[in-house]
Amino acid sequence: MLKIDNKADIFHYRTLLFVLFVSICTLLSRYFFLQIIEHERYFSKSQVNSVKAQATYAPRGLILDRNGEVLVENYPTYILTVTPYQLDSKEEEFSIISDITNIPLENINQRYEKFYQGRFLPTIIAKNLTFSEISQIEERRLELSGFQYKRFDERFYRDALDDAHILGYLREIDRESLSSLDKSKFYRAGELVGWQGLEKQYENELRYSKGIEYIEVDTYGREISRINDNSVPAFPGNDLFITIDARLQEYSKSLLNDQKGVILVSNVDTGEILSMVSNPSYSMDIYRGETNEKEWKNLLSDSSKPIINRTISGLYPPGSSFKLITAFNLIENGLLDPEDNLMCDGSYTPPGSSRTFKCWKEDGHGLVDLNKAIAQSCNVYFYETVQLTNLKDWTKTAKIFGFNEETEIDLPNELIGQIPDKEFFIKTYGRWGWSERGMLLNLTLGQGDILVTPLQTLRYINHIASKGKKTAKLKLNLNKEVDFYHDIELSNQTWDRVFNGLFDVVNSDGGSGWRARQNSDIKLFGKTSTAENPHGDPHAWFNGFFELNNQKFSIVVLVENGGGGGAVASPIAGKIVSFITKNSVEIVSKVVQ
């Protein structure tokens, strides 16, 4: 018992009961009016004609290269849908469809299961129907209740850029993937959605906006008329211009022949990627959603890994190009006089150790200063000098150049590689299973536990080419605004020292990259790498940059298990630079100033 007794008045109780009674009676009388008195009218309305909202489509945006060459477009096909509750006999009707279209009955059944959305919603059971198949279906209309065909745009990938890695592909949305998609875009099972590459990255821009139209249908769902009030038109997706030059891309790809590898070319000032080859690639069939389970399994188990976009998801030891990291670190911290000469007699034995580390040139390079060490890629010089720094500072320098983080390229599935630090070594080898000095000997050659993606290497080159100032972020969308990575503050003198070394790599006698040398007056800077790895022959790298018409371009060539960077990668790089020089009008013209 609380403070006070119930004072409720029977009059108030009756008032509220009265209000309740009247309200419920009002509702019930309205239901009575609609369901009993007006029943005939509404029943016939629901039976004969119903207004149904139906989605309308518009084409997906095109993808074009920097010169306006169409790379991806749409072509119209017909799809066949079935509305389950209208089927008289599923088995019979499906076998008729199988006869007409020559699609095995089991495939039709499989698709029916996969895309089923409910008894009353149309399910897409066949695609790419020809006109003659459509006419045969129309002829046997009476036997085929519940089937409808509809125009449907499929993607067509032109031969101009035969590259699945950049463009990606579309995939049919099935019941499982539906729940993971953006609800506000009104995706439905059976429609296409960008699943890889640029098609995925720019899904929101490329995808049409769905419209709604209201159609009057009869009980069998057949269209009687269209109602134009309230309908929302569908709009096509936006076209996407990409920074790739299709001709350069094709040319670079041809240089790799059948070798596994990567070729990247970019404009340093704008971050535009002109060429992005990852070899091998895979067949165009996958684009059209026709690839079956078995072909997929073959692709996935192929030992040359065609499915992987090596430029952003391939991890490699960078090799000698990381000697520059040591050089930057030492000069900037005043630990090294670049003019000092060291003696390379072909091998290096750390103080207090019995193990000997060999230079690649068995006879040794003789007296070596920094310039020569870079140009001829002397190991001993860097073995000795790296001892002057420590692991913490060294990894810090590597990370400043963008390793161990994303390049923020506009493609999905980018990996960040691995720059090992103290924690990593302790975790991997235990507290006493490694020594800092020993590890540095490996790291300074870009070997051991370092892993980088070729695109990260491209960013590294761009940082160097722009002397750390206003290095543009790498991008594939031509209309994406130019953005910049963080600046790298090193003294001019440091940059100049390294530049001299890189110039001599290509242009001096005995430079490891002499095979890339140009006959024209183009000044090519570069660094070769020959990266040892556990999977076979070393990877051949060439990373470089050059100036043309007051713009800087950078280039990364990687031939997987190709052998020496000087012998294998340099000539390819040289050819690409010549190609760009000859065709500079197209490649340079589109640059945003």
Partner 1 sequence: MFNNYLSGSNEYLGRLYLIVLSLLSFGLITLYSISNDPTSLSSTFFRQIIFIIFSFFVFFVIQRMNVKTIHDNSTLIYLGSFFLCFIPFFLPPVENTFRWIDLGFFYIQPGEYLKCATIIVIAKYLSNHQLEVKENYIIIIPLAIAMLSAFIVLNQPDLGTAVIIFAPVLPMLLWAGVNTFTIFLLIAPLLTILAASNFMIFNIWAVIMFIIFMIFQGSLLRRIVLYFANIFTGLLFPLFWNDFLNGYQRQRFLDFLNPDLDPMGSSYHIIQSITAIGSGGLFGKGWGQGSQTQLKFLPVQESDFILSVIAEEFGFFGISIIMILFFMLIKTFLDLAFKVTDYFSSLVIIGLTSIMFSHIFVNSAMTIGLMPVKGLPTPFISAGGSFMLLCFIILSLVSILSKN
Please report how close the Cβ of residue 206 comes to partner 1 at its closest, in angstroms.
Answer: 24
Q: Of 89, 95, 225, 230, which lies in the binding site for partner 1, with binding defined by CB under 8 A?
A: 230
Which residues in the 369-388 window bind partner 1 by CB under 8 A? Answer: none
Q: What does the H/E/C string look like for 99-161?
A: HHHCCCHHHHHHHHHHHCCCCCCCEEEEEEECHHHHHHHHHCHHHCCCEEEEEEEEEEECHHH
Nearer to partner 1, 35 or 304 (CB): 35
Instruction: For residue 6, state whether it binds partner 1 (rule: CB under 8 A).
Output: yes
Q: Of 45, 90, 226, 396, which lies in the binding site for partner 1, with binding defined by CB under 8 A?
A: 45
Instruction: For residue 10, state whether it binds partner 1 (rule: CB under 8 A).
Output: yes
Instruction: For residue 36, state whether it binds partner 1 (rule: CB under 8 A).
Output: yes
Please report how close the Cβ of residue 204 comes to partner 1 at its closest, in angstroms.
Answer: 18
Tell me which stretch binds partner 1 (CB under 8 A): 1-9, 148-156, 308-316, 464-472. 1-9
Tell me which stretch binds partner 1 (CB under 8 A): 29-37, 156-164, 237-245, 334-342. 29-37
Distances (CA, A) of 572 to 56, 155, 376, 556: 49, 33, 19, 10
Please report how close the Cβ of residue 508 comes to partner 1 at its closest, in angstroms.
Answer: 59
Please report how close the Cβ of residue 194 comes to partner 1 at its closest, in angstroms.
Answer: 25
Looking at residue 38, the DSSP 8-state letter turns out to be: S
Please report how close the Cβ of residue 293 comes to partner 1 at its closest, in angstroms.
Answer: 24
Distances (CA, A) of 281 to 63, 96, 274, 489: 19, 39, 18, 39
287 vs 154: CA distance, rounded Å: 9
Please report how close the Cβ of residue 576 comes to partner 1 at its closest, in angstroms.
Answer: 47
Please report how close the Cβ of residue 186 comes to partner 1 at its closest, in angstroms.
Answer: 13
Q: Of 114, 136, 158, 221, which lies in the binding site for partner 1, with binding defined by CB under 8 A?
A: 221
Distances (CA, A) of 62 to 154, 167, 302, 590: 12, 11, 31, 19
Tokens of 363: 């006879």
Instruction: For residue 38, state whether it binds partner 1 (rule: CB under 8 A).
Output: yes
587 vs 243: CA distance, rounded Å: 10
Instruction: For residue 222, state whether it binds partner 1 (rule: CB under 8 A).
Output: no
Instruction: For residue 27, state whether it binds partner 1 (rule: CB under 8 A).
Output: yes
Instruction: For residue 186, state whether it binds partner 1 (rule: CB under 8 A).
Output: no
Instruction: For residue 120, state whether it binds partner 1 (rule: CB under 8 A).
Output: yes
How many residues sit close enough to partner 1 to count as binding (CB under 8 A)?
52
454 vs 313: CA distance, rounded Å: 9
Tell me which stretch binds partner 1 (CB under 8 A): 14-22, 253-261, 280-288, 352-360. 14-22
Please report how close the Cβ of residue 114 comes to partner 1 at its closest, in angstroms.
Answer: 14
- With beta carbons less than 8 A apart as the criterion, state whether 282 and 578 touch: no
Tell me which stretch binds partner 1 (CB under 8 A): 20-28, 100-108, 313-321, 493-501. 20-28
Distances (CA, A) of 147 to 70, 218, 290, 349: 35, 15, 22, 80
Please report how close the Cβ of residue 229 comes to partner 1 at its closest, in angstroms.
Answer: 9
- With beta carbons less than 8 A apart as the criterion, state whether 91 and 267 touch: no
566 vs 569: CA distance, rounded Å: 6
Q: Which amino acid makes up residue 129? A: L
Please report how close the Cβ of residue 84 comes to partner 1 at its closest, in angstroms.
Answer: 11
Residue bearing tokens 């350069």: 248
Instruction: For residue 219, state whether it binds partner 1 (rule: CB under 8 A).
Output: yes
Nearer to partner 1, 22 or 426 (CB): 22
Q: What does the H/E/C string look like for 457-523?
A: HHHHHHHHHCCCCCCECCECECCCCCCECCCCCCCHHHHHHHHHHHHHHHHCCCCCCHHHCCCCCCC
Instruction: For residue 18, state whether it binds partner 1 (rule: CB under 8 A).
Output: no
Which residues in the 60-119 window bind partner 1 by CB under 8 A? Answer: 85, 117-119
Distances (CA, A) of 338 to 148, 463, 491, 493, 497: 77, 21, 14, 11, 8
Instruction: For residue 180, state whether it binds partner 1 (rule: CB under 8 A).
Output: no
Instruction: For residue 42, state whether it binds partner 1 (rule: CB under 8 A).
Output: yes
- With beta carbons less than 8 A apart as the criterion, state whether 181 and 267 touch: no
Tell me which stretch binds partner 1 (CB under 8 A): 5-13, 126-134, 196-204, 463-471. 5-13
Instruction: For residue 53, state whether it binds partner 1 (rule: CB under 8 A).
Output: yes
- With beta carbons less than 8 A apart as the criterion, state whether 474 and 484 touch: no
Instruction: For residue 50, state whether it binds partner 1 (rule: CB under 8 A).
Output: yes
Binding site for partner 1 (CB under 8 A): 1-10, 12-13, 15-17, 20-21, 23-24, 26-28, 30-32, 34-36, 38-39, 41-43, 45-47, 50-53, 85, 117-121, 179, 212, 219, 221, 230, 232
